[in-house]
Homo-oligomer: A and B are copies of this chain.
Amino acid sequence: MIIVLRPEVEMQQAEIILKKIEDKGLKPLCMPGIERIVLGAIGDERILQSLNLEADPAVEELRPILSKYKLVSKEFHSHEKIVKIGSTKFGGGHLGIIAGPCGIETLVQALDSAEYINETGVTCFRAGIFKPRTSPYSFQGLGLEGLSILNEIKKQYNMSIVSEVIETKDIELIYEHVDAYQIGARNMQNYRLLEAMGKTNKPVVLKRGMSATVEEFLLAAEYIYNAGNDQIILCERGIRTFETTTRNTLDLNSVAYIKEKSQLPIIVDPSHGTGVRNLVNPLTKAAIAVGADGIIVETHPNPEVALSDGKQSLYPQQFKQLIREISQISTIFGKTL
């Protein structure tokens, strides 16, 4: 930890802070410069958080040296983790695909979707029954009525189900019906939900918040890991920027960066990442090329009547074409489908 003091601060005040650092068992360091004094603290600086040095009026700025996350880093665990949802693997050279409509609307819509998705060999089905929506006047999902539909998909097609939870109490309600939980972008910093995820024994797909930095994203994963569950699949789904031609700005830099820093698999959501049906195919390929461990994509048997996100949902033919193209390019990027 580097502690930059304010220009007017004198050595006497600096020594008080040095003493505090020493008392915590870290090695203190004093660097008096021409314009101000700078201090250092060598050792596990996470211990220093409890000192709240940033609030000290003598301190202008704290510059941590270590990343704030630990368990999810490669330094903690150097091998790429492989996370499984049913028989689908993510990470460690495996490319996993999750597909389905944005939300479950009717039994017919769900089974129709499962039918053509299953035909392509994809076995993870995304099936939201709780839909957080910006407007109170929009379709909010079927709720618990949708559970029997999920069961039917599992029964008829033997697919694995990924479904979003919004509150801690949802976790148990859908436990028997799903193979993995999804945490949506709006809930990435719902820490109570993250901690509850840490107590489950099912894998979690954690979506990046639309204005979350990569560090905050990894810290959200750290919450889950720290609470006991290391079966985490990160998901880049685009961030909010000034650009409005696309719904979000898909940040593929983050995927390459996270592959360097973290042991966890990371997948990409090109549907939310663009918000435009025609851009899903090229951005999926870009995601695979950049090193993503998988894709989560929206497709609907009849997008123009979809109750949510129809604009970004692939038609069945487009979806089948996408899967064909993925299988053509995955090998060249060192991935097994």
Where the two chains meet, the residues of A that have a C-beta atom closer than 8 Å to any C-beta of B are: 2, 4, 7, 29, 31-36, 38, 40, 42-44, 46, 49-50, 52, 54-57, 63, 65-66, 68, 75, 132-140, 166-169, 186-187, 189-192, 195, 210-211, 213-216, 219, 222-223, 226-227, 238-246, 249-257, 259-260, 273-274, 276-279, 282-283, 285-291, 303-311, 313, 328-329, 332-333
Contacts and interface: CB of A to CB of B under 8 A. Distances in A.
A249 B241 contact: yes
A43 B32 CA distance: 9
A16 to B, nearest CB: 10
Contact of A190 (B44, B187, B252, B310): B187
Given A2-B2, A2-B63, A31-B40, A253 B279 contact: yes
Contact of A54 (B211, B246, B310): B310
A289 B286 contact: yes
A279 B257 contact: yes
* Nearest 4 interchain pairs by C-beta: A55-B310, A211-B211, A289-B289, A286-B290
Given A137-B46, A249-B241, A313 B55 contact: yes
11 contacts: A7-B75, A33-B65, A38-B65, A57-B303, A132-B190, A136-B222, A166-B191, A211-B211, A241-B251, A252-B286, A257-B279
B286 A274 contact: no
Given A49-B137, A57-B304, 20 more contacts: A2-B63, A31-B40, A33-B65, A33-B66, A34-B42, A52-B304, A52-B310, A136-B222, A166-B190, A166-B192, A210-B211, A211-B211, A243-B251, A245-B253, A249-B249, A252-B286, A256-B279, A260-B278, A285-B289, A286-B286
B55 A306 contact: yes
Contacts of A332: 328-329, 332
B189 A214 contact: no
Contacts of A42: 31-34, 38
